[in-house]
Structure 1
Amino acid sequence: MPDSIAFISDIHGNLPALSAVLADIAEQGVTQIICLGDVVGYGGQPGECVDVLRERGIVTVKGNHDSMVADGIPAGDDVGITMAMMWDWTEQALTTDQRQWLRELPMTLEHPDFQAVHATLKNPAGWGYVLTASHASAHFMHQQRPLCFIGHSHWPAFWVAGETDERSITSLESIDMALKQLVNVGSVGQPRDGDENACYLIYRPEQKDVWWRRVPYDIAAAQRAIEEAGLPIKFADRLRFGK
């Protein structure tokens, strides 16, 4: 039976949250880690977060924020001044080498048990959200493995093909390898489900389950990094509320 795997996502330049999560993963005895993207954006320490993943050799797929700052994709007219300013600052804060690492990240990951992508397997580079049963159904048409792990919405979730609604989840959910299941692992650095603690997930093949974990971290330190970078204060304020 394969070893357990920790999935992290949506770090968003939040080094205190990333550090706390990696420490918790180590405490659980899990050595394999996969990152589902959005290493950068919003937070004040994007380069430091990139370096941690690179130095530890953590397999990472590309998120929309990673693509925005590394690939130079136009933000569009509807983005707004604060978002455009944040992406511009993030791009300038990264070294050429860090941007190149982000640029070369794959869009998807294939494993015998699962697939992984930042947003959805339906047009991964379109960055669509899975928020409804209809979104999940469209995704499942492209899922070829029993499991798929995603991030992007910053909201832990569990969808099963053929079911008409998202499952109400607890911190631990059983999986059935005879079914197609879509698992959102939550956000390390920008939780938005009303819980301010960092969120990540452990996939345990032997126990046949997925286990979301919430980890307290130094929110004040993450807020200071945002303020010292001169980024919009709302990016710091929202960390207190997990919104």
Structure 2
Amino acid sequence: MIGETGDSFAVLADIHGNADALRAVLADIDAQGITQVLNLGDLFSGPLAARETAEILMAREILTIRGNHDRYLLEQTPARMQPSDRVAFEQLEPEHLTWLQSLPATLRLTPDIFLCHGTPRDDTTYWMEHVPPSGVPNRRPLADIAAEAEGIDASLFLCGHTHIPRRLDIGGGRVIFNPGSVGCPGYDDDLPLYHVMETGTPAAAYGIVTRTAQGWKTSLAQVPYDPWRMVAMARAADREDWAGAIGTGWVGSLQPLTA
């Protein structure tokens, strides 16, 4: 059972159609003998390999919830979709969307473990970060972070959405852990105002969690892989912003991207 003392499990988030990063992460997990994997959503959206990603995920027993971009694929018509969602939607077959529809938005896995994409109540809210008027994201005040967990007596909260790996302890043995993004290490967004989120590495990120007698042990794995097939897909879709982020980990590449 996931969460037993001494047993480790892996946590994925924000794959965004990067099938090659997903393969690298799953190979790394398998090499460590970890058999339990959780997935926090935003599976397909991006100018990459949504169909490949769907086939990989559906072939494995990975407990998965939906993210905000997964919801957009289900709720919006193609004409209303943003470009990244539309490219993914056009690749997906009806069976992929049916599987996506079957996934919950949040999940209390055990009495101690709660899964969400953004926060427990909103899949588009950054839990541990906020964007001030300067447009430079920073950590939210601790009181605001803790307030998002009110009414949920879990001790481990797993979230994604920001693509930035981070752990915060909010008192009473409670931990919030974001494993970072498997497939998209940087992006920019206009909401709530223009800002950039970037990790500065193209490595595929995921988390490893273990319950110990002292509390939750968390670690971040950053797996190098060859991103250039994904970079080429992004460029073929005329998305140089995605190509730069995937190839370098920075939004707006610091130097010309070459394989």
SS at match of 1:140: coil
**Structure 2 vs 1, CA of residues 115 and 221 (structure 1 numbering), >3 Å: closer, same or farther?**
same
Shift of 1:64: 0.8
> What residue number does 1:94 align with?
92
What CA distance in whole angstroms lies between the structure 1 residues aligned with 2:223 and 2:61? 22
Query: Contact (CA 8 Å) 2:78, 2:86: kept in 1 or not?
Result: no
Structure 2 equivalent of residue 29 of structure 1: 33
Quote the offset at 1:75 in angstroms.
9.8
Pairwise mapping of residues 134-153 of structure 1 onto structure 2 (< 5 A)? 134-153=143-162
Residue 48 in structure 1 maps to residue 52 in structure 2: yes
Q: TM-score, normalised by structure 2?
A: 0.78
Q: Is the CA contact 2:47–2:87 (under 8 Å) kept in the aligned structure 1? A: no
> Aligned in 2, Cα 1:28/1:135: closer, same or farther, shift over 3 Å?
farther
Amino acid at match of 2:118: A
Equivalent residue of 2:148, what SS?
Answer: helix
Q: Aligned-pair distance for 1:88?
A: 1.7
Deviation at 1:232, TM superposition (A): 1.6
Select the structure that is richer in helix: 1
User: Does residue 240 in structure 1 map to residue 244 in structure 2?
Assistant: no
- Determine if the alignment matches structure 1 residue 180 to structure 2 residue 174: yes
Displacement after TM superposition at 1:196 (Å)? 1.7
Name the residue aligned to 1:226. Answer: 234
Q: 1:48 to 1:135 in 2, by over 3 A?
A: farther
Q: Tell me the equivalent position of 1:117.
A: 116
- TM-score, normalisation: structure 1: 0.83
| Kept after mapping to 2: 8 A contact 1:71/1:103 | no
Q: Which stretches in structure 1 are left out of the alignment for 5+ residues?
A: 77-82, 163-177
1:71 Cα shift?
Answer: 2.4
Please tell me whether residue 199 in structure 1 is matched to residue 215 in structure 2. Answer: no
How do residues 74-85 of structure 1 correspond to structure 2 at under 5 angstroms?
84-85=82-83
Give the aligned CA root-mean-square deviation in angstroms.
Answer: 2.1
Segments of structure 2 that go 5 or more residues without pairing to the other structure are 130-139, 186-197, 251-259
With a CA cutoff of 8 Å and minimum separation of 6, indicate the structure with the bigger relative contact order.
1
| Per-residue deviation, 1:85 | 2.1
Task: Check conservation: 2:14, 2:184, Cα contact below 8 A.
Answer: yes
Q: Does 1:128 find its partner at 2:131?
A: no
Aligned length: 219
Q: Could you give the per-residue CA deviations for residues 69-121 of structure 1, whole angstroms, max 9, x where no partner exists?
A: 12227998xxxxxx712222221111111112112210112123311111101
1:171 is matched with which residue?
A: none
Corresponding residue for residue 190 of structure 1: 184
Query: Is the Cα contact below 8 Å between 1:187 and 1:200 reproduced in 2?
Result: yes
